[in-house]
């Protein structure tokens, strides 16, 4: 009997090894699960309206067989059909409230006081290939706001607490290979994480990862490099895990391709042997001759491919884009990229956009980063949370540095885990040049609590990414105690007047303006309006804690010990309507409004952040009720001098001071105000004319074709113009949109910080009023080759049509 038992055990072990190892010769798969979800509101206060959640036991057994909401057979046919990314808050009405959190979140009914719109249930049906049985299955959520409980086929999988850091869960044991698999997510947004618009829902991508039992985990490849002249040494650290029930061995090799996919170098195969549930990291180095360095002007990306083999078969493969570059911080000379001195010309930004809230399609990340680059910005601070990976990909490919930020200065196990996930996910992006361990923790940043927490976070950062360093965004003046004692790069939120004194007292610590400026402006408005909650569109108004653009930038530009700084903010965002409250539902801090339309301060920064010829006049010249009265005329330029003319008559010539602007007081009369400037002997001209009344609508798309992939899209900007095609600066006509073809309108906006119009409309009823001559509509592509036609109309105005080709 013993002999037979041993014989059968040996046969079983051989069969097990054959099943678990022998057939696993396919590479890893990453399948997008964004489409065809069902959505329904729950209720945070009434279990009967929350599908009996909290009343019916869901955790008393591993798998709940009763027909509860988490059961696969629960009937969800009447639920709303949606795709993710999805932000349910953007479609809610505005609600007046005296609650501080409502003010800061843009007066949308979400949070503890609004239980009926603060819980969202999602369900997703999907099938898997039976041929993949025996592999590992993992569900990956890139971002859910927030406190998301997850079930698969009635099995509880896990809870992701953070609204800003995604997570992955092994669901192998719960897969159904004979029919539907059902993914259920309960999202609880009844508690806030920030003091700004945060949205709610599954607002980033969802993926199904299918791996062999020996595989490379999510974010399991780390690439870093050292540069010596024209040669770079690239180190690739590949993590391999073994989920077989037997010890498994194999080899790992890596290779690098150029931007065209041509292999340029490769390692030899390195052996490994892993016990059950074992993990190892294989470090391999490769030399790249005549390396092309990633820079702002030439953001060149290589690709590294890590390959795992068993029995001469590829069982796992990961491809990672990366850039080769050097970064250095000098406390006296500033910041250097590839040995070249660069002043940080950055902006802070939250993650929402007009019409679509926080659920930005990938193409919108490229649209927004391109707008910032056109202004001359070279750096982006993700305020105050980890950005989506697609934003980092846009910054990698377009050439924009990123300050990547942890949500809180906190060293609890939850926030340590979040920080580790951020570091592992983002450390291969060449755009990320600096980590931030937190922002404005007034209760702890100046004492030993903050110091100890900072040291804990810095240790983790150095463990997982020794190729970079970190800062902390401190709203502190010349204060050293606390976080500043240990932080490598001192961050200043405002307090620009104290930077020189701090540098004097701590000359060996590099200094960075993590938040600067905070001028509040409303696009196209030139008088303070406390009824409609507008502020003038010039660099004149700021909160008590902040400064004008010219104040901080002069200090940063003229002193090398300033690394530079980040303006608060690049774009307007929902919430924080400083200096007002209701009916103001959006901030005024942006250099661009929530649609990305430039305000006048855009041209101040562009004058001094680029080498382009800039000559910009403001305000507009339509003032029929001010004939003969003085108007302040501003000129933003980087020319040497400017002469101003009104209807051909000179109003005088002025020399242009560096990092400043010019100003005239002009008695208004209709006609043309013109500036003539000289820059290095070259003549520049610009003019603003009094327009006639509005006669037509024009529409300009940011591109003329889209991919028929259901993901791509187009931003169409609308202007109301007169018969000569000049934008009418105070036009507020209602504009209507009709789209023909396989595509969808997904949002509208106009940049009005006090507009309560809907950002999302019923199909066939899309509309938006212009605000000071402009509005915006955002389209998302379908999946068929088609000729799209967007018809744009407004009562009494000549309509227009935008034609877009949709191709494979």
pLDDT at res. 649: 98
Q: Please state, in angstroms and rounded to a whole number, the distance separating the CA atoms of residues 147 and 491.
A: 30
Q: Look over the chain and give the mean of its residue pLDDT values, rounded to a whole number.
A: 95
The per-residue pLDDT for range 757-780, each reduced to its tens digit, is 999 999 999 999 999 999 999 999
397: part of which helix (H) or strand (E)? helix 389-398
Q: Please state, in angstroms and rounded to a whole number, the distance separating the CA atoms of residues 584 and 601.
A: 21
Token digits of residue 285 = 């180095």
Q: Please state, in angstroms and rounded to a whole number, the distance separating the CA atoms of residues 476 and 331.
A: 19
pLDDT at res. 384: 95
Backbone angles phi, psi at 195, to 5 degrees: -120, 40
The per-residue pLDDT for range 188-217, each reduced to its tens digit, is 999 999 999 999 999 999 999 999 999 999
The per-residue pLDDT for range 163-191, each reduced to its tens digit, is 999 999 999 999 999 999 999 999 999 99
CA-CA-CA-CA torsion for 593, 595, 597, 601, nearest 10 degrees? 20
The per-residue pLDDT for range 84-120, each reduced to its tens digit, is 999 999 999 999 999 988 999 999 999 999 999 999 9
* Residue 212, CA atoms < 13 Å, CB-side half-sphere: 26
Banded pLDDT at 62 (limits 50, 70, 90): confident
Average pLDDT over residues 421-428: 98
DSSP 167-231: EEEE-GGG--SSS-EEEEEEEE-SS-SSSS----B--S-EEEEEE-SEEPPTT-EEEEEEEETTE
pLDDT at res. 65: 65
CA-CA-CA-CA torsion for 653, 655, 656, 662, nearest 10 degrees? -40
Q: Please state, in angstroms and rounded to a whole number, the distance separating the CA atoms of residues 133 and 20.
A: 10
pLDDT at res. 59: 82
Report the SS3 class of residue 63.
strand
Is pLDDT above 70 for 9?
no
Is pLDDT above 60 for 299?
yes
Average pLDDT over residues 413-420: 97
Of the listed ranges 61-75, 391-405, 558-572, the one predicted with least confidence: 61-75
pLDDT at res. 25: 54
What is the share, in percent, of the chain residues with pLDDT greater than 70? Answer: 97
Is pLDDT above 70 for 6?
no
Q: Name which residue leads in pLDDT, 541 or 8.
A: 541
pLDDT at res. 318: 96
Average pLDDT over residues 679-684: 97
Cα torsion 15, 18, 24, 25: sign: negative
The per-residue pLDDT for range 460-492, each reduced to its tens digit, is 999 999 999 999 999 999 999 999 999 999 999
Angle 173-176-177 from CA coordinates, rounded to 5°: 115
Average pLDDT over residues 372-380: 98
- Which residue matches tokens 């910032």? 372
| pTM for this entry | 0.95
The per-residue pLDDT for range 537-550, each reduced to its tens digit, is 999 999 999 999 99
Is pLDDT above 50 for 7?
no
Is pLDDT above 60 for 12?
no
């Amino acid at each position: 009997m013993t002999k037979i038992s041993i014989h059968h055990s040996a046969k079983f072990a051989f069969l097990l090894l054959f099943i678990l190892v022998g057939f696993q010769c396919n590479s890893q798969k990453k399948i997008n699960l964004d489409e065809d979800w069902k959505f329904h509101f729950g209720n945070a206060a009434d279990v009967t309206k929350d599908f009996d959640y909290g009343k019916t036991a869901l955790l008393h057994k591993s798998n709940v067989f009763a027909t509860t909401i988490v059961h696969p057979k629960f009937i969800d046919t009447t639920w709303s059909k949606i795709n993710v990314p999805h932000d349910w808050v953007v479609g809610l009405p505005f609600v007046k409230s005296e609650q501080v959190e409502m003010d800061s979140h843009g007066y949308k009914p979400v949070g503890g006081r609004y239980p009926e719109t603060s819980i969202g249930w999602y369900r997703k049906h999907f099938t898997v290939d039976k041929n993949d049985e025996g592999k590992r299955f993992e569900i990956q959520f890139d971002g859910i706001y927030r406190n998301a409980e997850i079930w698969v086929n009635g099995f509880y999988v896990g809870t992701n607490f953070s609204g800003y850091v995604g997570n992955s869960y092994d669901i192998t044991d719960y897969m159904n290979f004979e029919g539907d698999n059902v993914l259920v997510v309960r999202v609880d947004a009844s508690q806030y994480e920030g003091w700004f618009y945060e949205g709610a829902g599954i607002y980033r991508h969802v993926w199904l990862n299918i791996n062999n039992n020996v595989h490379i985990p999510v974010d399991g490849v780390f690439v870093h490099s050292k540069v010596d002249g024209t040669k770079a040494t690239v180190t690739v650290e590949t993590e391999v895990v073994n989920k077989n029930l037997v010890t498994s061995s194999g080899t790992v090799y890596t290779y690098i391709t150029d931007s065209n996919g041509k292999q340029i170098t490769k390692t030899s195969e390195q052996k490994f042997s892993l016990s059950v549930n074992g993990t190892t990291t294989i470090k391999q180095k490769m030399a790249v001759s005549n390396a092309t360095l990633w820079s702002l002007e030439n953001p060149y990306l290589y690709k590294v491919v890590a390959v795992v083999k068993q029995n001469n078969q590829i069982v796992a493969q990961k491809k990672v884009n990366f850039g080769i570059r050097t970064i250095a911080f000098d406390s006296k000379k500033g910041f250097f990229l590839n040995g070249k001195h660069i002043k940080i010309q950055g902006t802070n930004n939250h993650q929402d956009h007009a019409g679509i809230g926080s659920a930005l399609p990938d193409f919108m990340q490229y649209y927004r980063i391109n707008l910032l680059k056109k202004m001359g910005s070279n750096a982006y601070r993700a305020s105050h949370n980890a950005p989506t990976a697609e934003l980092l990909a846009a910054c990698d490919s377009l050439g924009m540095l990123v300050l990547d930020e942890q949500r809180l200065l906190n060293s609890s196990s939850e926030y340590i885990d979040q920080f580790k996930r951020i570091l592992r996910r983002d450390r291969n992006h060449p755009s990320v040049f600096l980590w931030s361990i937190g922002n404005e923790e007034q209760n702890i940043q100046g004492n030993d609590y903050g110091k100890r927490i900072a040291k804990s976070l810095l240790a983790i950062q150095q463990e997982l990414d020794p190729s970079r360093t970190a800062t902390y965004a401190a709203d502190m003046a010349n204060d050293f105690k606390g976080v500043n004692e240990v932080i490598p790069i001192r961050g200043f939120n405002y307090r620009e007047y104290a930077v020189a004194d701090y540098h004097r007292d701590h000359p060996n610590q590099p200094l960075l303006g993590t938040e600067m400026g905070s001028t509040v402006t409303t696009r196209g408005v030139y008088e303070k309006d406390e009824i409609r909650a507008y502020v003038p569109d010039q660099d004149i108004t700021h909160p008590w804690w902040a400064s004008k653009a010219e104040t901080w930038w002069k200090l940063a530009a003229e002193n090398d010990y300033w690394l530079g700084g980040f303006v608060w903010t690049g774009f307007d965002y929902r919430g924080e309507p400083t200096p007002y409250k209701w009916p103001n539902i959006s901030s005024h801090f942006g250099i661009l409004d929530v649609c990305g339309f430039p305000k006048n301060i855009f041209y101040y920064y562009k004058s001094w952040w680029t080498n382009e010829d800039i000559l910009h006049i403001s305000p507009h010249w339509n003032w029929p009720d001010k004939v003969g009265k003085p108007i302040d005329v501003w000129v933003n330029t980087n020319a040497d001098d400017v002469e101003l003319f009104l209807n051909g008559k000179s109003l005088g010539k002025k020399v242009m001071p560096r990092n400043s602007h010019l100003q005239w007081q002009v008695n208004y009369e209709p006609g043309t105000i013109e500036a003539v400037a000289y820059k290095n002997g070259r003549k520049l001209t610009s003019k603003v004319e009094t327009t006639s009344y509005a006669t037509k609508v024009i529409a300009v798309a940011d591109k003329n074709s889209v991919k028929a992939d259901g993901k791509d899209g187009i931003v169409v900007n609308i202007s109301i113009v007169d018969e000569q095609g000049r934008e009418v600066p105070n036009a507020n006509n209602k504009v209507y949109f009709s789209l023909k073809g396989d595509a969808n309108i997904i949002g509208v906006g106009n940049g009005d910080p006090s507009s309560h119009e809907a950002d999302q409309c019923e199909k066939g009823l899309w509309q938006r009023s212009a605000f000071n001559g402009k509005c915006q509509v955002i389209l998302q592509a379908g999946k068929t080759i088609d000729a799209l036609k967007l018809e744009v109309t407004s009562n009494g105005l000549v309509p227009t049509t935008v034609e877009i080709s949709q191709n494979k």
